[in-house]
A and B are shown apart, each in its own frame.
Chain A
Amino acid sequence: MQTTGGNLDGFRILDLTSEPGFLAGKLLGELGADVIKIEAPGGDAARRRAPFVGGRDDAERSVLWLALNTSKRGITLDLDRARGREIFLALCEQADAVIESTGPSDPTSLAARGLGYETLRARNPRLVVCSISPFGQSGPYSAYRGSDLIAVATGGNMYPTGNPERAPVRCSLPVSYYHGGIEAAVGVAFALYGRELSGEGQFVDVSLQEVMLIPNMTSPTQFPLTGFKGGRVGGGFRGNKAFFRELWPCQDGYVSFALRGGPARIPGIIAFVKYMEECGMAPAALTDHDWTKYNHNLITQAEVDEIETALAVFFRSKTMRVLFEAACERNLMLAPAYTAREIAASRQLAAREFFVDLDHPELGTAIKFPGPFAKSNFTPIGIRRRAPRLGEHNAEIYGTLGLDVATLATERVI
């Protein structure tokens, strides 16, 4: 196999996941593992999800597929056929880990196909098997179905997100799949570490509901102490005596800035007042306030309102870029709510050579991708290859098992 020099170089991972688990295999691949995406012969459902590169509905052009399946090779295999299951078990003998995301009640789960953990373990006791499911493998909700919306709702991250006059709201992209995808990758890496010590693999059970708990930043655990059930406050936060605005319209978008206190933040507030003063836009309510002793739990709503009126006028007079450059130069805790356009143009990300142009010769184009999720001084992290075309590596991988792809195709196994 190819040598990448990554931390997980030499580990082979079979990736049976659909969208909820795409990120897991991508991250493991970008750490150097040889990740093999296994799809049913018709291809993963994500391949049929718009938008498509060039606007054409085509299995090789889905943005969702291309974006989250980098650093994987790809094969097709029909697990509904006995021959397919037999080949899968042979692949498991040579693999270090399997990741999947069907859920225990799904009729297409590995267990439902007679390929549950005990069966795989019997063939390869060193194998790590990681399942991502809506609620976990056991327990009263384990048979329940759920996609991102359900995980974010039942995990408690939706109720406190939103505006008070409207319904609780989720992020428009599936954050539980991101939390769950990284969690699954953590589980695989932990279990591989454990295997180095014990020689044995294990089963890892990731719940999408449960991964959404820690993102609530301990608020649920505080409920028995405070009785606070959460609530929607729009773009802002609540101190002991006042509500603070945190998202402000500016000339061409929005910026995040709040009068949050604490020693780490006070210098930023003082620098911000100075910035407004230099622009001739700081009223006495700001310049006369003793910010060195500022505590957002002590200030009253009337004081906050007066200050925030001036802030609103100031932000409306500037663009996201001007404000962010000032923030970087003056150490202000102010950040623009960037869209993909500004992120792609970020000077910081450019200086770190974060974005990579990935050649997609079949599409006649190169596409700019987010690159490494971290940097390591000795072991490269980052995209190893573009997402696989449907069945792209069938010959290469089945060849190593001594199987002939033409025969497999005739048998309709791939």
Chain B
Amino acid sequence: MAQLFAGLKVLEFGGGAAGPFGTRYFADHGATVVRVESRQRPDFIRLLRYMPGDPAGLDGSHMFAMVNVNKYGIALNMSHAKGPEIAGRLVQWADVVAENFAPKAMAKWGLDYESLRKLNPDLVMISTCLNGQTGPDRNYPGFGGQGSAISGFNHLTGWPDLEPLGPYGTITDSLSPRFVALLVAAALVHRKRTGQGQYIDLAQVEGGVVCLSENIVTYTATGEILERIGNRSRHAAPHGAFRCAAKGDDDDRWVAIAIHSDDDWQKFRRALDDPPWAADARLATVAGRLAHVDELEEKVTTWTRTRSAEDVMTRLQAAGVEAGVVANFEDLVNDPQLAHRRHFREVEHRVIGKHLAETNGLRFSRTREEIRMPAPCLGEHSEYVYRELLGMSSAEYDALKAAGVFE
């Protein structure tokens, strides 16, 4: 069966991860995704590890390569007088326009939705920035680190006696792409049925706050401010990461264990061959375990510390107890379950060479995701896209190129 979005045409402006990871869903499922970039102002993730004099130049960024597999890349100088006009022709080609610039950028080039709709009446367009397209703080220039803080994740992550942290990887940058995929897919369903396109404004902070509805409603309905509590749970114990035996010279090995019910606790005791401390009647109930959680966590650690994280996971899971290795990046690329799902797949990038790329967390029974091609070098597919997809004559292409429009 053909891929789900075979034939769908997506035009992408912007950079970073919050937008580009969103269009990846469509690219992995067969859509033609064209990224518009410019040497005049490169995507900041092309510059993350950039060092002056590096021969790889703007094409050596690992992160850019990994985020943008399966996409075509073209260069278009929006500051050139001809830039916006060419962009308009790309919009006429597209079914979907996705952009994640700050709110002013697209309007400045005359590429706001109302203008684009005149060129392509049933266009689906999505804009995603931190605070949304309206409101007094719409131009606030934030990235994911700021989004995570403003939407409440940082305050809720870390230890009660230390600074707030935020989950690794600036979480609104990974929640937002999922919202982008959902919103665009729902808009495409609507367009299939009605012929109507639409414009979507996704504020990354708002998406994050909706996810954290429990945080907000706890406060608005009860007055309580939720605080970060490390790995503990208000409803379960033990519930945390416990130190395990070193693996070679790596003494930073941990296993996560979650005991929810009293039945779980009995299974846990059996899996540990019922050490004397676990027979303590005070620990038989959730309330008792929560009341003695400091002591309990110490006891669990005495058991895990002499065992490998992998062995603890296997042994507890065999007994029906929730446990998992606290995986580091090396563990992930060797993880048998992720291998079974083919999470990581190899592609060959023109500058970086062979590298792993990854796909999202869902699989379909009738249609497949595929990783077909590496991320584009800057402007790599300009000629293909302008000539083949837009049907530009070679004379026009050459003239525009010579004039610096495709820089």
Contact = CB atoms under 8 A, between A and B. Distances in A.
Contact of A343 (B145, B200, B209): B209
Contact of B49 (A189, A213, A297, A376): A297
Contacts of A263: 41-42, 44, 47
A273 interface: no
Given A68-B213, A352-B134, A339 B241 contact: no
B226 A229 contact: no
Interface stretch (A73-81, A201-209, A389-397): A201-209
Interface residues of B, number: 158
Contacts of A120: none
B183 interface: yes
Contacts of A179: 174-175, 178, 361
Which residue among A66, A156, A332 has the maximum number of chain B CB atoms within 10 Å of its CB? Answer: A156
Interface stretch (B71-79, B320-328, B383-391, B398-406): B320-328
A63 B182 CA distance: 26
A219 B145 contact: no
A63 B338 contact: no
B260 interface: yes
B182 A153 contact: no
Main secondary structure of the interface of B (DSSP, over half): mixed
Interface stretch (B85-93, B159-167, B269-277): B159-167
B206 A374 contact: yes
A264 B44 contact: yes
Given A67-B217, A193-B185, A211-B360, A140 B366 contact: no
Interface residues of A, number: 157
Interface string A127-162: 000000001101111111111011111111111111
Nearest to B126: A374
Interface string A73-96: 000000000000000000000000
B218 A340 contact: yes
B279 interface: no
A399 interface: no
B55 interface: no
B254 A159 contact: yes
Contact of B189 (A147, A175, A189, A207): A189
Contacts of B190: 7-9, 379
B358 A214 contact: yes
Given A154-B325, A173-B215, A196-B193, 16 more contacts: A139-B336, A139-B337, A150-B258, A150-B322, A159-B328, A161-B167, A182-B179, A190-B29, A190-B364, A202-B366, A217-B173, A335-B147, A337-B154, A339-B226, A347-B137, A376-B201
28 contacts: A68-B213, A139-B336, A144-B324, A151-B324, A152-B256, A159-B254, A166-B162, A172-B229, A193-B185, A193-B189, A202-B367, A203-B364, A215-B174, A216-B332, A217-B170, A219-B168, A230-B328, A234-B162, A249-B163, A254-B154, A295-B50, A343-B216, A349-B135, A351-B135, A352-B206, A369-B213, A370-B206, A371-B206
